[in-house]
Amino acid sequence: MPGPTPSSTPPAAAANPSHNSRRKRKPRPKTAPPSALNPNWALLQSKLPHRPAATHLGKRKHDGATPAPAEPSPPPTAQEVRLEPTSDDTSLTKVVAIDCEMVGVGFDGGKSALGRVTLVNSFGNIVYDEYVRAVERIVDYRTWISGIRPKHMNKAKEFWAVQKEVAELIKGRILVGHALHNDLKVLLLSHPKKDIRDTSEYEVFRRERKRRSLKDLAAEVLGAKIQQSRMRELRCSFTTSTRKHGRRT
């Protein structure tokens, strides 16, 4: 008689070959948190704004209606801010601000000439303020901009005298102003570039690489209006140049 037919059923161990291929993963060593390795990490984390961790599941669906996003707050409106001197000190400081007012000369008054020049110190006090008698006949006083009237020319100084005095006052000092190239040009003076602080040239103040008016900068940086006030303009140019950098120079 033929012997018993061997069973075609594989052994239990061979029934599931993937069973043997599974290997137990070794447990990963526990790593100490960064705060335990470096105490400065905990201090840094406490100062950083908290942000929820990102997930790989995408955005979760919220039950009910999604709340509308909050509307952005409108920018603060510039108000009349009194920019008063910070001290009674009228001495000539290391940093001075300058502003020149022009009058119109020439056939139709379209050519600009110096009509007034003012310097203030770092405390916001006047250290020099003189009307200037133009070399050519004044055709347009540009009073609505300059504030200069014919009566102011009665005690005005000659241009060359004012030029010399201003040159001596600003020599070796840091000069602050807005569009200073115009002031220096009308004075026929130059000044070391390293000692110039021009609020119209600061990259941080520009918008799309374009120069902005002092009125615009004062409203944004200081929240102040400077319409029709030369002293306010001078103090604004000085304060604006220092407010952004938190320093006097």
Q: Would the pLDDT of 72 be above 50? A: no
The pLDDT value given to residue 160: 97
In whole angstroms, what is the distance from residue 48 CA to residue 111 CA? 57
Strand partners, 224: 79
The domain made up of 95-243 is a member of CATH 2.60.40.650: no
112-148 pLDDT per residue, tens: 999 999 999 999 899 999 999 999 999 999 998 888 9
Number of neighbouring beta carbons within 10 Å of residue 19? 10
Most confident of 3-7, 28-32, 46-50, 152-156: 152-156
Q: How far is residue 210's CA from residue 225's CA, in Å, rounded to a whole number?
A: 21
- Taking a C-beta distance cutoff of 8 angstroms, is the pair 244, 98 a contact? no
Strand pairing of 138-140 and 174-177? unpaired
C-alpha span between 203 and 209 (Å, rounded): 7
Q: What is the pTM of this model?
A: 0.58
201: confidence class by pLDDT, cuts 50, 70, 90? confident
Most confident of 42-51, 199-208, 239-248: 199-208
Q: Where are the domains of the chain?
A: 95-243
Most confident of 79-88, 163-172, 179-188, 202-211: 163-172
Query: Does residue 154 or residue 234 have the better pLDDT?
Result: 154
Task: Determine what percent of the chain is predicted with pLDDT higher than 70.
Answer: 47
Count of CB atoms within 10 A of residue 1's CB? 3
Q: Which strand (E) or helix (H) includes residue 102?
A: strand 95-105
What pLDDT digit, counting tens, does each position of 75-111 carry?
445 455 556 788 899 999 999 999 999 999 998 999 9
Tokens of 84: 């008063």
What are 220-232's pLDDT values in tens digits? 666 666 655 454 4
Kindly tell me the sign of the dihedral angle through the C-alpha atoms of 101, 104, 110, 113: negative
Rounded Cα–Cα distance for residues 52 and 105 (Å) = 66
**Closest to 127 (Cα-Cα) out of 200, 228, 234:** 234
Q: Under DSSP, is residue 204 helix (H, G, I), strand (E, B) or coil?
A: helix
